[in-house]
Amino acid sequence: MATDRDSVLEAAVGVLSRRPTAHLDEIARAAGISRATLHRLFPGRDALIGEVGMLALRRLASALDTAAVEEGDAHAALRRLIDEIVPDAMLCAYLTGESQLYDDEAVNDLWEAQIARLHALFLRGQQQGVFRIELSAAWLSEAFFDLLAGIGWAVQDGRLAPRDATFSLAELFLGGALRTPRPH
Amino acid sequence: MATDRDSVLEAAVGVLSRRPTAHLDEIARAAGISRATLHRLFPGRDALIGEVGMLALRRLASALDTAAVEEGDAHAALRRLIDEIVPDAMLCAYLTGESQLYDDEAVNDLWEAQIARLHALFLRGQQQGVFRIELSAAWLSEAFFDLLAGIGWAVQDGRLAPRDATFSLAELFLGGALRTPRPH
DNA sequence: TAATTCTGAGACACCGGTGTCTCATTCGAC
DNA sequence: GTCGAATGAGACACCGGTGTCTCAGAATTA
């Protein structure tokens, strides 16, 4: 049973990612609590969805912090980021897929801040000569997130083994992003 | 004003892709018709969404046909496919993103048939030695679609110039998928 | 011009999800 | 063991979207 807020939010993601229009009853059941308690924790559907977005963004920000993406070689930094973020790939997938989150101002601000950090990482990598300059840093950022979301889906749906997730993402993306491919 | 069904469906994608829960009023307005006429063309919301999915799948199947993905060198076939499908990237993005479509049996069957063709293309490419075998054909198929959807979003939101779309998709994906990267 | 068909605007009831409340029960603290 | 807080189950009304219908006006055709 999930009593604390974050546990409920994780359960909510599990349901909402598959069916964004799922009823609150279903979400409450997935979290192992009643609809009344769910409503006590989050006053309304919008609040719940917004909190889910904020949770995902906190995880993303945390991964960016832990990976120290602002420091050192951009290639190594990106590999550190992949290691950190892949476990939360599904959360990021929900983040990109749920367009309703774009209405939430707090979510939007934090989202753009994190995207900016990712964008800066690719820009720095291009200046360092490790990332290709034919592809814009904006597109690299977006593509990275698209593949990260894809990893999340593939793992959740059982199409990809969890232990292959990091490798599959890193190899495919870096192969296309690095200026000198596959210098393992 | 969009009188024929396909025009309405295209307008519907434009709205539904951004807000999957958009009201029928909004969709009708986007198509330039009244809600009454919309309901005459498609009896209900589910029917409309299902038809949108079928339209997207028809386009995808058509692109796979025109590109003749079953014939010749897998690398060249994939490049032909990219050229054909990029204009309908947004349609494919909606196809992958709208989980509600998975409930529609007709959509599901056609979807899996096209995915199978894509999967076979990558498998053939791996056997031909042009695609990497460290990455599963299933993951290559999924990743290709993820990036295709990303292209659709980036172009629609103005983050990527339409004329860069094909290049950006091909270069990034092929860089990661090809066994010998960038033999232009 | 006249007739037919199609469309748009509006009104209306139905329905399902949500928000809110109550109350019995259970869990935890002291 | 007792008290207080929290939870679950249920009931209820509200609300918005949808499905349906009607009718007037416009477009097309004869």
pLDDT tens digits, B145-183: 999 999 999 999 999 999 999 999 999 999 999 998 766
pLDDT tens per residue across span A136-183: 999 999 999 999 999 999 999 999 999 999 999 999 999 999 998 766
Which residues on adjacent β-strands are paired with residue B178? B131
pLDDT of residue A4: 86
pLDDT tens per residue across span B29-44: 999 999 999 999 999 9
Q: What Cα–Cα distance (Å) separates residue A39 from each residue in A12, A33, A54, A103, A127? A: 13, 10, 18, 21, 49
* Chain B contact set for A150 (CB, 8 A): 142-143, 145-146
Q: Which residues contact A110 (CB under 8 A, 6 or more apart)?
A: A54, A57, A61
What's the token pair of residue A21? Answer: 């229009």
pLDDT of residue B88: 97
Q: Does residue B162 sit at the A interface (CB-CB below 8 Å)?
A: no
Min Cα–Cα distance to chain B from A36, Å: 25
Backbone angles phi, psi at A131, to 5 degrees: -105, 150
Confidence of residue B4 (pLDDT cuts 50, 70, 90): confident
Whether the beta carbon of A15 falls within 7 A of nucleic chain C: the reply is no
Q: Does residue A103 sit at the B interface (CB-CB below 8 Å)?
A: no
Handedness of CA B144, B145, B148, B154 (dihedral sign): negative
Indicate if the pLDDT at residue B140 is higher than 50: yes
Can you tell me the distance from the alpha carbon of B97 to that of B149, in angstroms, rounded to the nearest whole number? 9
DSSP H helices in chain A: 5-16, 24-31, 35-41, 45-67, 74-85, 89-97, 105-128, 137-156, 162-177
Q: What is the mean pLDDT of residues B85-99?
A: 96
Can you tell me the distance from the alpha carbon of A74 to that of B47, in angstroms, rounded to the nearest whole number? 48
Q: Which nucleotide is nearest to B29 (CA to C1')?
A: C8
Whether the beta carbon of B29 falls within 7 A of nucleic chain C: the reply is no
Residues composing chain B: 184
pLDDT of residue B1: 38
Report CA(A166)–C1'(D15) in Å, whole number: 46
Give me the tens of pLDDT residue by residue for chain A, a chain 184 residues long. Answer: 344 899 999 999 999 999 999 999 999 999 999 999 999 999 999 999 999 999 999 999 999 999 999 999 999 999 999 999 999 999 999 999 998 999 999 999 999 999 999 999 999 999 999 999 999 999 999 999 999 999 999 999 999 999 999 999 999 999 999 998 766 5
Min Cα–Cα distance to chain A from B20, Å: 8
Q: Chain A residue closest to B153 (CA)? A: A142
Mark the nucleotides of strand C covered by protein, meaning any atom under 7 Å from a CB. Answer: 7-10, 16-22
DSSP H helices in B32-104: 35-41, 45-67, 74-85, 89-97
DSSP for residue B51: H
Interface of A with B in 45-64 (CB under 8 A): none
Cα radius of gyration rounded to whole Å, chain A? 17
* Chain B contact set for A147 (CB, 8 A): 143, 146-147
**Among B168, B178, B182, B184, which would you mutate to test the A interface (most chain A Cβ atoms within 10 Å of its Cβ)?**
B168
Reported as half-sphere exposure (CB side, CA atoms, 13 A), residue B56 has a value of 29
Backbone angles phi, psi at A133, to 5 degrees: -100, -10
**D8 closest protein residue (CA to C1'):** A34
CB B112 within 8 A of CB B52: no
Can you tell me the distance from the alpha carbon of A40 to that of A42, in angstroms, rounded to the nearest whole number? 6
**Pick from A37, A20, A19: which is nearest to A28 by CA?**
A37
Nearest CB to A171: which of B20, B167, B176?
B176
CB burial of B74-113 (b: ≥16 within 10 Å; e: otherwise) equals: bbebbebbbebbbebbbbbbbbbbbebbeebeebeebbee
pTM of the model: 0.94
Whether the beta carbon of B33 falls within 7 A of nucleic chain C: the reply is yes
Can you tell me the distance from the alpha carbon of A35 to that of A42, in angstroms, rounded to the nearest whole number? 10
Which residues on adjacent β-strands are paired with residue B131? B178
A171 contacts B150? CB cut-off 8 A = no
Min Cα–Cα distance to chain B from A68, Å: 25
Q: Chain A residue closest to B21 (CA)? A: A21
What value does the mean pLDDT of chain B take?
A: 95
Indicate if the pLDDT at residue B141 is higher than 90: yes
Q: Does residue A123 sit at the B interface (CB-CB below 8 Å)?
A: no
CB atoms within 10 A of CB B26: 14
pLDDT of residue A1: 39
